């Protein structure tokens, strides 16, 4: 991004002086509010990540010199934040694939570094989570404020003008939001300047990417989220790994990024790469084995295993309640086994206990990572019955529990967030924000799961179809295996390749090319 004569530009596309002035004002406001010191120096070192060291050999980058130095020669920095769970999940895929390719992954969570990054991101995240929950409780807010903000699609012209120019709801799709986010992320530059400038760096959120580029890092790859192009995901000076071809085209031509609909100068081809879906190594490597197990369980009439996930913003309680109430009699008949991952939302466990007061005998709880892992491993080849609730006291295990459970379930029920790109049969329930719509479209079209169920009755119908019949699960498993063989799930590997220059060599596995013969 450049600033000339009071106007910012992104890939040669100039922002108006008015919007440039507003963006600079936003930076000045945050700098003053959180006492930004442009001359602040960061000392960084590394230590074992308390949650991911035993899984990935993961090490944390921390502020202070008490730990070990970074291994510049073999290290890959993976920078993320909690903004919902999706950005954590993308970063985990980068960590997993970097480890599989022989690198030492370093975890840089901007919310774990005391100072300006934590202050600003917590401030923004509080507003994001609040608005996500409002969108689920108020149809008017969702239709006229949140969906237009998250997609850039207009609702009421007069309301849009007020929201965009006075209230501060700048649609994520428009170029001015890119500039607003970049100048905010410039306040993180001193942190990233403390890392060797040419060290490979993967990022899973644009603020991490923008901060790294602003801090002088020259080897940054952004693992892009969603399948709906939004301008604020672009960072001039970085490479971008896009998960789907429709998203690639949209970013390449900056489709819809101009408020008046005018065409913009394209993003250079050497800044944008169609990589495929960002998925953990252990999930990709075991696709054939896991899909064969699903079909075997189906053939043996075992209870259908459903995984219900709660997102990081904690929305959709009403939907959760309806699904669980629908499942209770099916669990009692041993037609299904339901796994509910509450993430790290302790308040939702208190709520769920009250809702299931008459069915305590059905519930099995798993509140530690050791218990979650042991249970999951036990049903990999064993039986699963009843209602299992998972709750963890940290974000890392809260997110990774879903990843770990994916391999042993038949169907995952989720909003079309980052989970839309994962190789497990998916029932897509209603989105939270219009930007998620295209994740469901992508997943449905490649045979990963259902179309988006936009209401509770549609969601319950889809559950019944996946429970009572065999054709849908068979279709999804077949498509997932075929998708692997054409590289659809190789996005995280390819992002590591872009950052390090090292190619991933997949080990030979027993391919279930004749999967249909197993059912």
Which residues does 119 contact at the CB level (< 8 Å), separation at least 6?
Answer: 34
Query: Do residues 247 and 229 touch, judged by C-beta distance below 8 A?
Result: yes
The residue from 247, 274, 301 where one domain ends is: 274
Specify whether 251 is located in the same domain as 304: no
Rg (CA), the chain: 23
Which CATH number is 440's domain given?
3.40.50.2000
What is the C-alpha separation between 463 and 324, in angstroms, rounded? Answer: 11
Specify whether 352 is located in the same domain as 452: yes
Question: Does the residue 98 lie in any domain?
Answer: no
Retrieve residue 423's tokens.
Answer: 């190789």
The residue from 209, 242, 274 where one domain ends is: 274
Q: What is the DSSP letter of 15?
A: P
Question: In 3-state terms, what secondary structure has residue 341?
Answer: strand
Specify whether 295 is located in the same domain as 237: no
Specify whether 242 is located in the same domain as 291: no
Domain that holds residue 182: 31-39+114-274
What is the C-alpha separation between 377 and 379, in angstroms, rounded? Answer: 6
Specify whether 418 is located in the same domain as 332: yes
Question: Does the residue 385 lie in any domain?
Answer: yes
Specify whether 268 is located in the same domain as 297: no
Specify whether 267 is located in the same domain as 342: no
Query: Do residues 254 and 264 touch, judged by C-beta distance below 8 A?
Result: yes
Question: Does the residue 222 lie in any domain?
Answer: yes
Specify whether 270 is located in the same domain as 289: no
Number of domains in the chain: 2
Of 150, 99, 214, nearest to 439 by C-alpha is 150
Question: In 3-state terms, what secondary structure has residue 109?
Answer: strand
Tens-binned pLDDT, residue by residue, of the chain (519 aa): 888 888 999 999 999 999 999 999 999 999 999 999 999 999 999 999 999 999 999 999 999 999 999 999 999 999 999 887 999 999 999 999 999 999 999 999 999 999 999 999 988 877 656 656 656 667 776 666 656 655 556 555 555 555 555 445 567 788 989 999 999 999 999 999 999 999 999 999 999 999 999 999 999 999 999 888 999 999 999 999 999 999 999 999 999 899 888 999 999 999 999 999 999 999 999 999 999 999 999 999 999 999 999 865 556 778 888 999 999 999 999 999 999 999 998 888 988 888 888 888 899 999 999 999 999 999 999 999 999 999 999 999 999 999 999 999 999 999 998 999 999 999 999 887 777 889 999 999 999 999 999 999 999 999 999 999 999 999 999 999 999 999 999 999 999 999 999 999 887 654 444 443 333
Render the burial of 128-144: b for 16+ CB within 10 Å, e for the rest.
Answer: ebebbbebbeeeeebeb
Question: Does the residue 457 lie in any domain?
Answer: yes
Whole-number Cα distances in Å, 447 to 275, 319, 479: 18, 24, 5
Q: Write the secondary structure of 65-88 as one string of H (helix), E (strand) and C (coil).
A: CCCECCCCCCEEEEEECCCCCHHH
Question: Does the residue 45 lie in any domain?
Answer: no
Retrieve residue 385's tokens.
Answer: 């019955």
Report the alpha-carbon angle 298-293-94, nearest 5. 130
Render the burial of 454-478: b for 16+ CB within 10 Å, e for the rest.
Answer: eebebbbebbeebbeeeebbbebbb
Specify whether 315 is located in the same domain as 397: yes
Query: Do residues 416 and 428 touch, judged by C-beta distance below 8 A?
Result: yes
Specify whether 314 is located in the same domain as 369: yes
Which residues does 66 contact at the CB level (< 8 Å), separation at least 6?
Answer: 45, 47
Please name every residue paired with 52 in a beta bridge, in sequence order, or none if there are none.
none
Specify whether 269 is located in the same domain as 288: no
The residue from 274, 309, 329 where one domain ends is: 274
Question: Does the residue 70 lie in any domain?
Answer: no
Question: Does the residue 1 lie in any domain?
Answer: no
* CB half-sphere exposure, 105, CA atoms < 13 A: 27
Question: Does the residue 72 lie in any domain?
Answer: no
Query: Do residues 404 and 370 touch, judged by C-beta distance below 8 A?
Result: no
Specify whether 332 is located in the same domain as 260: no
């Amino acid at each position: 991004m450049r600033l000339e004569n009071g106007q910012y530009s992104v890939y040669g596309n100039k922002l108006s002086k008015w919007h440039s002035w507003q963006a600079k004002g936003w930076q000045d406001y945050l700098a003053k509010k959180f006492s930004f010191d442009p001359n602040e120096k960061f000392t960084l070192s590394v230590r074992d990540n308390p949650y991911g060291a035993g899984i990935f050999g993961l090490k944390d980058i921390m502020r202070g010199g008490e730990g070990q130095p970074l291994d510049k020669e073999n290290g890959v920095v993976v920078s993320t934040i909690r903004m919902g769970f999706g950005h954590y999940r993308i970063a985990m895929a980068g960590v997993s694939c970097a480890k599989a390719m022989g690198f030492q992954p370093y975890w840089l969570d901007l919310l774990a570094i005391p100072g300006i990054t934590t202050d600003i991101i917590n401030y923004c995240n509080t507003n994001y989570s609040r608005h996500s929950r409002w969108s689920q409780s108020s149809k008017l807010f969702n239709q006229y404020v949140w969906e237009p903000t998250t997609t850039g699609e207009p609702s009421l012209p007069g309301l849009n003008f007020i929201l965009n120019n006075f209230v501060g709801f700048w649609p994520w799709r428009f170029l001015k939001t890119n500039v607003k986010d970049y100048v905010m992320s410039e306040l993180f530059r001193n942190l990233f300047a403390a890392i060797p400038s040419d060290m490979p760096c993967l990022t899973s959120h644009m603020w991490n990417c923008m901060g790294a580029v602003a801090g002088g890092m020259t080897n940054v790859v952004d693992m892009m989220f969603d399948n709906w192009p939004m301008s604020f995901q672009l960072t001039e000076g970085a490479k971008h790994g896009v998960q789907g071809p429709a998203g690639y085209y949209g970013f390449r031509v900056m489709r819809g990024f101009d408020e008046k609909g005018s065409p913009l100068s394209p993003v250079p081809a050497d800044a944008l790469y169609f990589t495929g879906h960002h998925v953990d190594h252990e999930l990709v490597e075991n696709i054939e084995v896991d899909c064969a197990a699903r079909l075997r369980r189906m053939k043996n009439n075992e209870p259908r295993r459903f995984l219900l996930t709660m997102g990081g913003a904690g929305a959709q309680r009403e939907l959760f309640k309806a699904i669980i109430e629908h499942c209770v009699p099916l669990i009692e008949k041993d037609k299904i086994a339901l796994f509910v991952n509450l993430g790290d939302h302790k308040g939702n466990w208190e709520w769920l206990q009250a809702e299931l007061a008459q069915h305590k005998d059905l519930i099995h709880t798993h509140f530690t990572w050791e218990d979650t892992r042991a249970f999951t491993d036990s049903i990999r080849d064993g039986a699963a019955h009843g209602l299992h609730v998972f709750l963890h006291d940290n974000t890392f295990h809260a997110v990774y529990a879903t990843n770990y459970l994916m391999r042993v379930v038949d169907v995952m029920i989720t909003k079309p967030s980052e989970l839309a790109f994962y190789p497990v049969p998916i029932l897509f329930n209603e989105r939270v924000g219009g930007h998620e719509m295209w994740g469901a479209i992508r997943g449905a079209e490649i045979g990963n799961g259902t179309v988006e169920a936009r209401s509770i009755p549609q969601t319950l119908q889809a559950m019944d179809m996946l429970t009572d019949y065999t054709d849908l699960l068979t279709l999804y498993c077949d498509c997932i295996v075929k998708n692997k063989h054409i590289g659809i799930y190789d996005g995280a590997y390819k992002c590591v390749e872009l950052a390090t220059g090292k190619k991933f060599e997949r080990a030979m596995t027993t391919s279930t090319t004749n999967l249909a013969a197993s059912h």
